[in-house]
Amino acid sequence: MSTTKKAHTTPPYELIYWPTIPGRGEFIRLVFEATGTPYTDIANETKDGISAVLALKDETATTSGDGNPPAFAPPALKIPGQGKDGKALVIYQTPSILAYLGNKLNFAGTDEAEKHYILSHTLTALDLNNETHDTHHPIASQLYYEDQKPEALRKATDFRESRLPKFFGFFERVLKGNEEGGGKFLVGGKLSYADTTLWHVLDGLKFAFPKELAAREKEFPALFGSFYGSVKEVSGLKEYLASDRRLQYSQGVFRYYPELDRQ
Amino acid sequence: MSTTKKAHTTPPYELIYWPTIPGRGEFIRLVFEATGTPYTDIANETKDGISAVLALKDETATTSGDGNPPAFAPPALKIPGQGKDGKALVIYQTPSILAYLGNKLNFAGTDEAEKHYILSHTLTALDLNNETHDTHHPIASQLYYEDQKPEALRKATDFRESRLPKFFGFFERVLKGNEEGGGKFLVGGKLSYADTTLWHVLDGLKFAFPKELAAREKEFPALFGSFYGSVKEVSGLKEYLASDRRLQYSQGVFRYYPELDRQ
């Protein structure tokens, strides 16, 4: 973990998420990396870190510790000293964690309007993330892909033909409408967690649907040209993406099944 | 619309959402009703209000007006005078609108920790709302239910048997862990938009899956006893729910298909 000036002024953030996959935890990691904020990715970095993830999933608990409510699912963020009576604050749900960190780390625009645009666009990017997951699990998360393959083929076809152009077209218009951003930022004139979140979804889609994305990229030049290309070159992100902390796509949200891609 | 003291101190909020169905707009209506805040439900209350919804869905627009970014989908909230340069602010995405109104209308807890718990639980309740929608549209939103009925039967079975008890069990634990709330509030000692949001999802599920819910209610006494029963008696909500402003469930998220219910 890089040490920066922020090491002395920010609390010791702990990300509680499954190890080995990017998953929804990645949206939170990218915020830390892009802002140069020290954090502990507890299940990937500590020997018994997985126990913190399993404790979060205890379906008998009425708290997640220190007086915080239980969490429905990982990821969660633990911030020592920021909760009730000086205890740790524990929050869950990716958009809620991103909104919290966006405020604390100056990564959520410059005024109240921008703050809400950023949250709204982030929610839309995460909806696309969820719809991507449902292409290989349209019936039930707890079943194997192989047990819902006919449905997955049907769902993925609609996703590629109708949903992808709708989402891509929307974000293309957002980029074009934000003159201050020059095609590099969704909102205003600086990077925010909306940008890192959308960027990761696009990157995951390139992995999961390579033929479909290759065919579509030219239709959305702002999104796949200036935006996708510039975010990955941002200081902090560039180094992270080249490091072994950036986990590989495998069996998480973004999976490569050739039969679900454009034929 | 009732006129209260707040009529003179709050901006003239405009909800932009489809007419005739509760839909996702209902989560926003409930906040206004529970806080006694005047608002205009533009497509239900004004002659040409539907044109505002259609304008929001214009897939060529790079703005939703007054310099705001485009909206991916309804609902949107328009707040005159609160945007850039004194123009209207337009925000979209249900959780983003709820977070905004929660802050403005003192309907989001009493401190920063509670504010984030409330947003997190709201996102979880809205995930349940989305999963409910997918029981009758597991393959594609744009297709008729009848064109995805075998998949819907399979999805609804998993939803009833696995997902409902998981969500209900979670919220039961949240209620039990929040001693200050006495089973009436998810967070702290007062009503918030997390409560109104979860309440509406439970109410919709009772309409869509009456047999399943009747069989499950006794398993979750806090959720279906103290919580469900008390929220609908809250001043403002009680009058609203008995009024003709409360739209009937029909062909929105919550639909009654007997074959998808417990047999």
Alpha carbons within 13 A on the beta-carbon side of A249: 16
pLDDT in tens, B187-217: 999 999 999 999 999 999 999 999 999 999 9
What's the DSSP call for residue A78?
Answer: E
CA-based max dimension of chain A: 58
Chain A residue numbers touching B92 (CB-CB < 8 A): 120
Nearest CA in chain A to B118: A96
Among residues B51, B85, B104, which one ends one of the domains? B104
Contact flag B84-A162 (C-beta cutoff 8 Å) = no
Q: Give chain A's count of helices (H) and strands (E).
A: 12, 4
Chain A residue numbers touching B70 (CB-CB < 8 A): 170, 173-174, 177
Q: What percent of chain A has pLDDT over 70?
A: 97
C-alpha closest to that of B72 among A181, A136, A134, A119:
A119
Domain limits for position A184: 112-234
Backbone angle region of B172, left / alpha / beta, with phi > 0 → left and psi within -120 to 50 → alpha = alpha
CA-based max dimension of chain B: 58
Q: Could you tell me if A66 and A125 lie in one domain?
A: no
Which tokens belong to A23?
A: 């998953």
Q: Looking at the 3D structure of chain A, how many domains does it have?
A: 2
Contact flag A59-B117 (C-beta cutoff 8 Å) = no
pLDDT number for residue A201 = 98
pLDDT (tens place) for every residue of chain B, 263 residues total: 444 445 456 789 999 999 999 999 999 999 999 999 999 999 999 989 999 999 998 999 999 989 999 999 999 999 999 998 899 999 999 999 999 999 999 999 999 999 999 999 999 999 999 999 999 999 999 999 999 999 999 999 999 999 999 999 999 999 999 999 999 999 999 999 999 999 999 999 999 999 999 999 999 999 999 999 999 999 999 999 999 999 999 989 999 999 999 99
pLDDT in tens, A145-160: 999 999 999 999 999 9
Number of A–B residue contacts, CB under 8 Å: 146
- How crowded is residue A62: how many other Cβ atoms within 10 Å of its Cβ? 15
Q: Is residue A256 in some structural domain?
A: no
CATH code for the domain of A230: 1.20.1050.10
Whether residue B193 contacts residue B101, with contact meaning beta carbons closer than 8 Å, is answered with yes
Contact flag B170-A70 (C-beta cutoff 8 Å) = yes
Q: Is residue A53 in some structural domain?
A: yes
Contact flag B177-A70 (C-beta cutoff 8 Å) = yes
Q: Could you tell me if A50 and A123 lie in one domain?
A: no
Q: Could you tell me if A24 and A100 lie in one domain?
A: yes
Question: How far is the alpha carbon of B238 from chain A, nearest alpha carbon, in Å?
Answer: 28
Residue matched to tokens 């995405």 = B93
pLDDT number for residue B84 = 85
